[in-house]
């Protein structure tokens, strides 16, 4: 069974995808993402292909589930793609060169542009899950792209907040966040010509970094070559700092937040919404997980167990170590 089910309490859709129960669980002796598997080209740098176990599909089956005026059902139309970072099974994002990550960013921009041409697609979500702590079933370095036929609720809340701020203040909320963080400096991890990385004042994860464009741009297709390269460098070094922090592979969820597509309600989003990447990082110490428990899940009342001014200082030191090691090796 695969379909969308309407949640009348939260006014959003739930994806039902029973087929995902069959996806492989951390196979030890075979990887479909490695060259020679028959699933991917024998040679590639970065590559995308359709997810074998999609929650969304351009050819949805007709649902047999009953529905009523209260409980609505819709086809699970959309697209789910896998984005392979490297043919090397043991690579990680920080182990890749800046040139290689630049190719990855260019591929993400290309897929965003292509998927946005489908008028049924309303939001393109690019993300990476890393580590068993966040439920990763395939260790080969990869991300994913979901092309939704609806606007996910969290993105809609961000858009509405940004639009309200723009109407009230005449400015972009995320531009103002950048300015506030730059003035404080306590939570800034790094910056380059085009991007800032900081742990926002309000985030609920101890190491929940945001990477934010300095320029007011809505999505990845708007970046020029310098911005793409600066983003590649920032991604390499921030994820490298995560690994340096506790001297281990650091689990995270990396989520690209960008302007919606084909949306009548948010057709002016470029005026008030702003590209950024949010990291959700479950570790609070080397061997302690920050769980999303009843308050967070049941009431959406977030609680951060550590002050981000403290964790920002720790991550900043790790970032400096990573940069120094790179300079010493060149």
142 is catalytic: yes
SS (H, E, C) 270-300: HHHCCCEEEEECCEEECCEECCCCHHHHHHC
First to last CA, the chain: 53
Catalytic residue among 102, 142, 165, 274: 142
Question: In terms of C-beta density within 10 A (0-12 exposed, 13-18 middle, 19 or more buried), how is residue 118 classed?
Answer: middle
Alpha carbon distance 300, 297 (integer Å)? 5
Q: How far is CA 312 from CA 80, 123, 187, 236, 326, in A?
A: 34, 31, 5, 18, 21
Q: How far is CA 211 from CA 177, 227, 287, 290, in A?
A: 12, 13, 25, 21
Contact 176, 197 (CB under 8 A): no
Structural tokens at position 212 = 């934010």
Q: How far is CA 132 from CA 84, 91, 101, 139, 165, in A?
A: 18, 16, 23, 9, 38
Closest CA to 257 of 283, 280, 230, 241: 280
Q: How far is CA 17 from CA 3, 14, 23, 109, 149, in A?
A: 7, 10, 11, 27, 15
Q: Which residues are catalytic?
A: 142
């Amino acid at each position: 069974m695969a379909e969308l089910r309407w949640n009348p309490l939260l006014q959003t859709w739930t994806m039902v995808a029973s087929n995902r129960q069959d996806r492989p669980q951390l196979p030890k002796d075979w990887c479909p993402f490695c060259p020679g598997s028959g699933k991917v080209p024998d040679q590639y740098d970065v590559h995308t292909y359709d997810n074998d176990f999609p929650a969304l599909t351009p050819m949805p089956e007709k649902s047999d589930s009953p529905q009523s005026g209260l409980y609505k059902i819709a086809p699970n139309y959309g697209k789910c793609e896998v984005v392979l970072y490297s043919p090397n099974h043991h690579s990680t994002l920080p182990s890749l060169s800046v040139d290689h990550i630049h190719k990855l960013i260019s591929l993400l921009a290309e897929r965003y542009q292509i998927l946005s041409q489908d008028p049924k697609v309303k939001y393109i979500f690019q993300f990476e899950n890393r580590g068993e702590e966040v439920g990763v079933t395939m260790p080969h370095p990869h991300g994913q792209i979901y092309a939704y036929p609806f606007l996910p609720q969290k993105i809609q809340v961000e858009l509405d907040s940004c639009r309200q701020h723009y109407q009230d203040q005449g400015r972009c909320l995320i531009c103002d966040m950048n300015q506030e963080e730059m003035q404080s400096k306590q939570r800034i991890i790094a910056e380059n010509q085009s991007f800032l990385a900081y742990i926002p004042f309000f985030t609920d994860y101890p190491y929940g970094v945001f990477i934010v464009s300095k320029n007011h741009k809505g999505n990845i297709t708007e970046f020029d070559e310098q911005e793409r390269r600066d983003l590649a460098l920032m991604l390499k070094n921030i994820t490298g700092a995560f690994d340096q922090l506790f001297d281990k592979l650091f689990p995270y969820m990396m989520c690209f937040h960008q302007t919606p597509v084909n949306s009548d309600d948010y057709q002016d989003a470029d005026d008030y919404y702003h590209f950024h990447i949010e990291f959700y990082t479950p570790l609070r110490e080397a061997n302690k997980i920050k769980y999303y428990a009843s308050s967070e899940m049941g009431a959406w009342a977030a609680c951060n167990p550590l002050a981000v001014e403290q964790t920002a200082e720790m991550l900043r030191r790790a970032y400096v170590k990573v940069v120094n090691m790179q300079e010493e090796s060149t």
